[in-house]
Amino acid sequence: MQDEDFVTIRLTVNGGTHRLVVEPRRLLADALREDLGLTGTNLGCEHGVCGSCTVLVDGQSVRSCLMFAVQANGHEVMTVEGLARGGELHPLQQAFWEKQGLQCGFCTPGFLMTAYELLQHNPNPSEEEIRSALSGNICRCTGYQQIIEAVQSASQAVAGASATVPSGTGA
């Protein structure tokens, strides 16, 4: 790799700004996990099917295994690490804990981010709407039911809490 093959980008991640020098082909997932040490985002398939790598870019869910880091240049990224605030679990995380919407936890960051996006747009979704929103995320452990229950139980709490999430978090 020659120096000219690298690109300088600026990413805002969970409210903090980072300057990164990356190859154009570097995946957003690798930039987050390896360059920024945000290993909460997991890679389950690296071909866009499982949803475990889901993060939000400008509030919209994307598969970070299918997006290049350079495409996120100048944009706001939110990862699972951006959910909890000051040691307090986000209501969605709290609800996943209450309902045990996880077992191995590997798919969980992807589900949390997808559910977060859903609740931003639809604070009180029906079971059908939750199933439809989560239909692109695979969990091999739970059988999904307790995930759905967690999203249901979080929905009201999140609707209340989202107003207090500081700007610049991708929220």
Dihedral of alpha carbons 24, 27, 33, 38, sign: positive
Binding at 69: pick from ligand FES, other proteins, none (beta carbon under 5-8 Å per type):
none
Burial category of 131 from C-beta neighbours within 10 Å (exposed 0-12, middle 13-18, buried 19 and up)? middle
Which of 7, 43, 157, 161 contacts ligand FES by CB under 6 A? 43
> Crossing angle, helix 108-121 and helix 145-161, to 10 degrees?
50
Task: Pick one of other proteins, ligand FES, none as the site partner of residue 53 (Cβ within 5 to 8 A by kind).
Answer: ligand FES
Nearest to 54 by CA among 137, 118, 133: 137
**Torsion sign, CA atoms 66, 69, 75, 80:** positive
Residue 38 interacts with which of ligand FES, other proteins, none, CB < 5 to 8 Å by class: other proteins
Return the number of other C-beta atoms located less than 10 Å from residue 56's C-beta.
23
103 lies in the binding site for ligand FES (CB under 6 A): yes
Task: Decide: is 139 part of the binding site for ligand FES (CB under 6 A).
Answer: yes
Give the interface segment with ligand FES, choosing from 30-38, 70-78, 86-94, 134-142 (CB under 6 A): 134-142
Residue window 21-40: x/- pattern of binding to ligand FES, with contact defined by CB under 6 A:
--------------------
If you ran DSSP here, which 8-state letter would residue 68 be given? B
Please choose which of other proteins, ligand FES, none residue 159 contacts, taking the beta carbon within 5 to 8 angstroms, the exact cut-off set by kind: none
When asked if residue 44 is in the footprint of ligand FES (CB under 6 A), the reply is: yes
C-alpha span between 87 and 65 (Å, rounded)? 28
Question: Interface with ligand FES by CB under 6 A: which residues?
Answer: 43-46, 48-53, 63, 65, 102-108, 139-142
